[in-house]
Chains A and B, each alone.
Chain A
Amino acid sequence: MSLTLLILFLFLAALGVPLAVALGLGTLATLWWFGLPMSMITQSMATSINSFLLIAVPLFILAGQIMERGGLSERIFDAAESLIGRCRGGLGHVNIVSSFVFGGISGSSVADIASLGPITIRSMTSRGYPLPYAAAMTLITSTLATLVPPSILIIVAAAAAGVSVGGALAGGLGPGILLAVALAGYNAWISGRRGYGMRVAFDGRRAVRAFLRALPSIGAPIIILTGMFSGIVTPTEAAGLAVLYTLLIAGVLHREIGWRDMVQLTIQAGRTAGAVLLILMVARAATYAFTVDQLPRKASGWLAVFDGSGFTTLLFMRVIFIVVGMFMDIVAAALMLIPVIMPAAVHAGIDPMHFLIFMSACLAVGLATPPVGTCLFATAYVSGVPIPRLIVAALPFYAINMAVLVLIAAFPQIVLWPVALLS
């Protein structure tokens, strides 16, 4: 039964049917064929989004859009640039830091490229970095937003997996920092060797001014994350406050956003959330079919062949995650993989939280890889670098990403320590 569903899904998806519709129709046809109640599709869809936690999704999307349009990202970049941009490879580090901070509010990798990408790439090339390197760096740093809290992918995945959303968001922090540090290390090394980036005299006055100008923008993720992780507010409430805060800064302080923009951004956030959450809704219905078919138990049986430690099991799963992530929208991929593979992972002795974050980190790689990578396309679009060239330039970064994944698989503490700290 599960096989029928999966084959139907893949067939429809290959024909260009939206992923959510392909999964929904595959499920509907399977329910009908095996004589299960077809009304389950509507039931599952209705119950899956009747959730206060998921309200965080449209709100964090909206906050990210306000940041992008309201001049917050630009100020964050300026401040980082005037502080650390002067040394060799400095702008590469700026690229990493500003994507990290941006991800601390928006949770969307594509939004990161659209808003920070053009500024970063332009500044890097004007300081003597090769364009493909600047673009590839922007491409990889954008995936940080999918790991650093609040990540939209992690919110949706945690809700689907039935683990604590706040905990899962904290779990993304360790891998996010690790990836950022690894990228910074590589950037420092290669920039030193190849002489990327001109040295510019440090202008203390300008640095202080840029920092003060960016202070409210940098403050946003700090306020939001502290509020959320100290337990004063829930993730959903943090998202509401994030909208209010970014709006105050963009509208009142920067005066870069007006009523007309706000109307447009609000509607866009609702539409995007609808598209993301439709996948969640149909995935819930598919999960019903998988459960009736006892697919999770079967998958545990298959994986038992590996009869190894959690580490080897995760390394094997990494291959599946990355291949799936290369072809599919990552939210859809996560929601398909969770019901099938998570029970098997737990059976193999892997902590559910560790599994979930590891999976998200693997899928995030898929955003930047061919043949289907939203971030890859977006970066090619904003930088003007042809996709094949961009892929070649990004090869060392993919390698770093792989190495980081091995570390995350080997050391569950990277994920679990911040989670434990939270609870």
Chain B
Amino acid sequence: MERLDRLLWRLVDAVILFAVTGMVVLICLQVGSRFFGASIPWTEELSRFLFIWTVWFGLAASFRTGSHPAITLLPDLAPRSLRWIFRAVPMIATTVLFAAVTWYGYDLMRQQMAFGERSPILQMGMWLTTMPLVVGAALSILGAIVSGIGGGQAADGARPDGTGRAE
């Protein structure tokens, strides 16, 4: 089970790595090509697609490592015997929200497939931009549950000083 958990999130990390690297390369290519007077038309669209993948997989991974910003004032003050409430409530809340997002997202994706909606330049199916939403939302549920039950953080999770945050 533990191995499966590690394998799954490694896969998620691999997608993030690929997508972020892709965005950097595409955007530098965009600037470079414009500089040499031969603008490439599809870099913007493709990097936007990669960005959507990055965001959804990134936020799912952050549920696994428990690094979404939260107000921990009350949980920190609560007596030890009541701590379980402050672990259960966030876990259930995350599950309910993302179950709805997955459900409606899947619906949206099916519609896009049925109508054959395509992106303006690359002519890719628009469902490809909704798929990360569906997969990412489902992964978020999994991440929140595993992190809620396990309590601890993933091996390479957020640093204790909170430098993973972006404020």
- Interface residues in B130-167 by Cβ distance below 8 A to A read 130, 133, 156, 159-167
B residues less than 8 Å from A68 (CB atoms): 163
**Also in contact, A58 and B51, with CB within 8 A (given A110-B167, A240-B24, A268-B164):** yes
A interface footprint on B52-89 (CB within 8 Å = 1, 0 otherwise): 10111111111001011111111100000000011001
Question: Is the C-beta of A78 less than 8 angstroms from some C-beta in chain B?
Answer: no
Contact A16 B166 (CB under 8 A): no
> Smallest Cβ distance from A7 to chain B, in angstroms?
15
Closest B residue to A12 by CB, please name it. B93
Contact B96 A25 (CB under 8 A): yes
Question: Is the C-beta of B124 less than 8 angstroms from some C-beta in chain A?
Answer: no
Contact B69 A18 (CB under 8 A): yes
> Smallest Cβ distance from A144 to chain B, in angstroms?
12
Which residues in A have some Cβ–Cβ distance to B below 8 Å? 12-22, 24-25, 28, 38-39, 41-43, 45-46, 49-52, 54-55, 57-59, 61-62, 68, 107-111, 113-114, 146, 152-153, 233, 236-237, 239-241, 243-244, 263-264, 266-279, 281, 327-332, 367, 371-372, 374-375, 377-378, 381-382
Once bound together, how far apart are the Cα atoms of A57 and B55, in whole Å? Answer: 10
Once bound together, how far apart are the Cα atoms of A270 and B67, in whole Å? Answer: 13
Contact B51 A371 (CB under 8 A): no
> Smallest Cβ distance from B87 to chain A, in angstroms?
8
Contact B101 A42 (CB under 8 A): yes
Of the candidates B30, B48, B58, the one whose C-beta lies within 8 Å of that of A270 is: B58
Closest A residue to B23 by CB, please name it. A55
**Residue among A28, A38, A113, A274 with max Cβ neighbours from chain B (10 Å):** A274
**Also in contact, A41 and B20, with CB within 8 A (given A16-B86, A50-B48, A381-B160):** no
Contact B24 A59 (CB under 8 A): yes
Interface majority SS on B: helix, strand, loop or mixed?
Answer: helix
Question: Is the C-beta of B27 less than 8 angstroms from some C-beta in chain A?
Answer: yes
Contact A15 B74 (CB under 8 A): yes
Contact B17 A266 (CB under 8 A): yes
Interface majority SS on A: helix, strand, loop or mixed?
Answer: helix
> Smallest Cβ distance from B91 to chain A, in angstroms?
9
B residues less than 8 Å from A51 (CB atoms): 48
Closest A residue to B25 by CB, please name it. A240
Contact A41 B101 (CB under 8 A): yes
Contact B60 A274 (CB under 8 A): yes
B residues less than 8 Å from A381 (CB atoms): 160-161
Contact B163 A39 (CB under 8 A): no
Once bound together, how far apart are the Cα atoms of A377 and B159, in whole Å? Answer: 13
> Smallest Cβ distance from A311 to chain B, in angstroms?
28
A-B CB contact pairs (8 Å), 9 listed: A42-B104, A43-B104, A46-B133, A58-B54, A62-B24, A113-B161, A237-B31, A267-B20, A374-B69
Closest A residue to B130 by CB, please name it. A46
Contact B19 A111 (CB under 8 A): no
Contact B94 A271 (CB under 8 A): no
Of the candidates B23, B74, B100, the one whose C-beta lies within 8 Å of that of A58 is: B23
Of the candidates A20, A55, A146, A272, the one whose C-beta lies within 8 Å of that of B164 is: A272
Contact B107 A274 (CB under 8 A): no
Contact A52 B165 (CB under 8 A): no
Once bound together, how far apart are the Cα atoms of A46 and B105, in whole Å? Answer: 9
Of the candidates A13, A21, A22, A271, the one whose C-beta lies within 8 Å of that of B16 is: A271
Closest A residue to B159 by CB, please name it. A114
B residues less than 8 Å from A114 (CB atoms): 159, 161, 163
> Smallest Cβ distance from A413 to chain B, in angstroms?
27
B residues less than 8 Å from A61 (CB atoms): 166
Of the candidates B133, B159, B160, the one whose C-beta lies within 8 Å of that of A45 is: B133
> Smallest Cβ distance from A293 to chain B, in angstroms?
20
Beyond known contacts A49-B55, A58-B20, A271-B67: 8 more, CB 8 A cutoff: A18-B94, A55-B27, A270-B20, A271-B61, A278-B59, A279-B69, A329-B167, A367-B167
Contact B162 A18 (CB under 8 A): no
Contact B44 A52 (CB under 8 A): yes
Closest B residue to A111 by CB, please name it. B163
Once bound together, how far apart are the Cα atoms of A28 and B53, in whole Å? Answer: 23
